[in-house]
Amino acid sequence: MLLGSTSSDVTGQLTLSTVPSGCLSSISSLPLRQLALLLVSSVASPPSKLAHGLDSQGLYAYQPIFYSAQCSKATTTINSQAEATALGNACSKYKGSIVIGTQTDTPFNFPGIEEITGDLTLLNNALITGFSVNELTTVGGTLTLQNLTLLTSFTATVLTSVDKLHLQSLPALGSLTIGPPGITKANEVIVSDTFLEALSGIDVRDVKQMDINNNRRLKDFTTALRTVSGTLKISANNKLMAVTMNSLQWIQNMEIANVTTFEATALNVVNESAHFDFNYFEKFVAPNLTHTEEGDISFVGNSELQNITLTSLSAIGGGFTIANNTALKVVTGFPKLKTITGALKMKGNFTE
């Protein structure tokens, strides 16, 4: 319907909150029969897109563009730019999943679609060099870019929400253009084997799983992440990798390896385990970490580590391991630690 944005695709009810300025008076002047027909037609067949304007008499005119089977299918495969443009022109919301074919045009732009309820998948394409989805705000399933050997750019200027984000085996992808504000809602984020130097636009607040690995140019990950209800893994990125997550308050599990600096000043509770193994940092400080509920804490094989300071740590629900940190001579940074439920393992040339 031509009244602006509506919620009719979900409920069949019209919303006038976003009617273009100056049109309400024109709507109110519609004959009751015409307005009734307008309402009934919108409820019976919800429009997928809206067009609007004034007719020859200066009244607000409308042209419903109705949902078709084209906008609702379990999976649709797009094999050309023309097909993508046609689908975007027909549907602002796609109910189902969309797969981009392996022989699509390059660079590839997906206009028009603002929401996909299922997955958006671009996989095993050896031709595509650029991929843009600049009207897409939401992916209800998994957004996958994987095994794209020539892809150098991904642009999603208004994308804020996905269920899962998978960026994997993208050896030419050197940068992301997402947002602002970027992706702030996701349950799972995997970034693996890319050419990225930074994770610009991935700024999730609460996540279940996050795995950042084997990105050889990635030197910085600064995030406003607050909670991790599953596991956070960071490993095998650039040797100079700096991780800053000073908004992180609690986490289920974490495995941090091969980083040069790690900051989590607000971290308070680890529900299970925290492993800091084979890193390059000289010091580790988590001033507000009070305890682990069930799991272990370990510092193993950190060759440059000289100081561990956990001034608020009072209890570890599992074991505590400090081993093979060749530069670590003094272990006195746990003044409040009283309880270790599991085993205490310490190996090194300690002086105190």
pLDDT at residue number 142: 98
**38 near 1, Cβ under 8 Å?**
yes
Element holding 81 (H helix, E strand): helix 81-90
Q: Counting beta carbons within 10 angstroms of the beta carbon of residue 133, is it exposed (0 to 12), middle (13 to 18) or buried (19 or more)?
A: buried
pLDDT at residue number 70: 83
The pLDDT tens digits for 295-347 are 999 999 999 999 999 999 999 999 999 999 999 999 999 999 999 999 999 99
Q: Counting beta carbons within 10 angstroms of the beta carbon of residue 86, is it exposed (0 to 12), middle (13 to 18) or buried (19 or more)?
A: middle
Q: Counting beta carbons within 10 angstroms of the beta carbon of residue 325, is it exposed (0 to 12), middle (13 to 18) or buried (19 or more)?
A: buried
pTM for the whole structure = 0.81
**Can you name the residues that pair with 253 across neighbouring β-strands?**
231
The pLDDT tens digits for 41-53 are 343 344 444 444 4
d(CA 344, CA 296): 10
Element holding 309 (H helix, E strand): strand 307-309
pLDDT tens by residue, the chain, 352 residues: 333 433 333 333 333 444 444 444 444 444 443 443 344 334 334 444 444 445 555 554 544 444 457 899 999 999 999 999 999 999 999 999 999 999 887 889 999 999 999 999 999 999 999 999 999 999 999 999 999 999 999 999 999 999 999 999 999 999 999 999 999 999 999 999 999 999 999 999 999 999 999 999 999 999 999 999 999 999 999 999 999 999 999 999 999 999 999 999 999 999 999 999 999 999 999 999 999 999 999 999 999 999 999 999 999 999 999 999 999 999 999 999 999 999 999 999 898 7
Question: What are the structural domain ranges in the chain?
Answer: 1-67, 69-204, 219-229+237-352
The pLDDT tens digits for 57-80 are 555 454 444 445 789 999 999 999
pLDDT at residue number 46: 45
d(CA 86, CA 115): 16
Of 299, 296, 294, 287, give the one whose Cα is nearest residue 331.
299
Instruction: Determine if the peptide bond prior to 46 is cis (ω within 30°).
Output: no
